[in-house]
Amino acid sequence: MATTEKTEIAKKKTDEVSLALDFEEVASGFEEMGQDDLALPRLKLLQKMSEECDTVKGAADGKFYNSVTRELYDGREAGLHVIPCAYVRQYLEWSERGDGSKAPINIFPATSDILSRTHKEPGDHKDYLENGNYIETSADHYLMVLDSEGFPSPVVINMKSTQLKKSRKWNAMMMSVKAKGKNGVFRPPMFSQIYRLTSVAETNSKGTYSNWEVERVGPVEDAGVYGIAKTFAASIKAGEVKAEPLQEENAKKEEGKTHDIF
């Protein structure tokens, strides 16, 4: 290799190192940006009838989809490592599908008595209000997704319908984690543990669909990642985090009607 080529390569490497140091030391451009200026992505488990399967290249049943970055993840085998940071249960009021609205009419907190004001229709599992709308129980899990290099990114997962069983199982799994400290056995913070999310095919009377599967990996070992997860958990508790708006999904159109698959 000629001397001039070696010099150019060495100079390029030096410039790259200097640039990396500048990235780390100078955090400019974000000074005026707060939580109100950010959209928290929703991590969606795609179904056969999900809109993304028709509009996003590579999207398919069983994959995970980030609603903001538009990234796709393999749910069937690789899965994702995540750190749960908070859990919020809500009740969503939906209008009947087909009227053009894809957003909930109202969102009620877990303390609401809204379910006591609903009734069932013959042959229907939904909880209907007198106005014809229905109430859906929703479980939101706020997480940090860890990429292949261990960098965390915040997302929220919305679990409902048959996914609620998975949500309750995950909650029980998190509550069962124990550790020994100087004062004896204690329950560590939710955001101290890493879990692996995958997707599995399940079947009910209406067909086959994809559902979540959760397994515990172990404790967070990186102090920096733990600090980020802790801060995220605190911001959720303080009401400073806003997720991407919910949209009605997973409806399959058939002869002008819509049906729930799961």
- pLDDT single digits (tens) 73-121: 999 999 999 999 999 999 999 987 645 557 888 999 999 999 999 999 8
Instruction: Please state, rounded to an integer, the average pLDDT across all residues of the chain.
Output: 83
Question: In this predicted structure, which of 18-22, 24-28, 173-177 has the lowest mean pLDDT?
Answer: 18-22
What is the rounded radius of gyration, in angstroms, for the C-alpha atoms of the chain?
22
Cβ-contact 155, 40 below 8 angstroms = yes
Query: What percent of the chain lies above the pLDDT cut of 90?
Result: 61
What's the pLDDT tens digit per position in 182-191? 999 999 999 9
pLDDT category, 152, cuts 50, 70, 90? very high
Q: What is the structure's pLDDT at 26?
A: 56
**Could you identify the residue written with the tokens 């009377």?**
205
53 found inside a domain? yes
- The token pair at 235 is 């911001």
Instruction: Decide if pLDDT at 162 tops 60.
Output: yes
d(CA 133, CA 127): 9
Determine phi and psi for 213, rounding to 5 degrees.
Answer: -135, 135
Q: How many domains does the chain have?
A: 1
Q: How many other C-beta atoms can be found within 10 angstroms of the C-beta atom of residue 174? A: 20
54 found inside a domain? yes
4 found inside a domain? no
75 found inside a domain? yes
88 found inside a domain? yes
pLDDT category, 27, cuts 50, 70, 90? low
The residue type found at 45 is: L
2 found inside a domain? no
pLDDT category, 240, cuts 50, 70, 90? confident
115 found inside a domain? yes
d(CA 143, CA 243): 12
Cβ-contact 134, 93 below 8 angstroms = yes
62 found inside a domain? yes
Cα angle 126, 118, 139; round to 5: 60
What is each CA distance from 149 to 106, 146, 153, 219, in whole angstroms? 39, 8, 12, 17
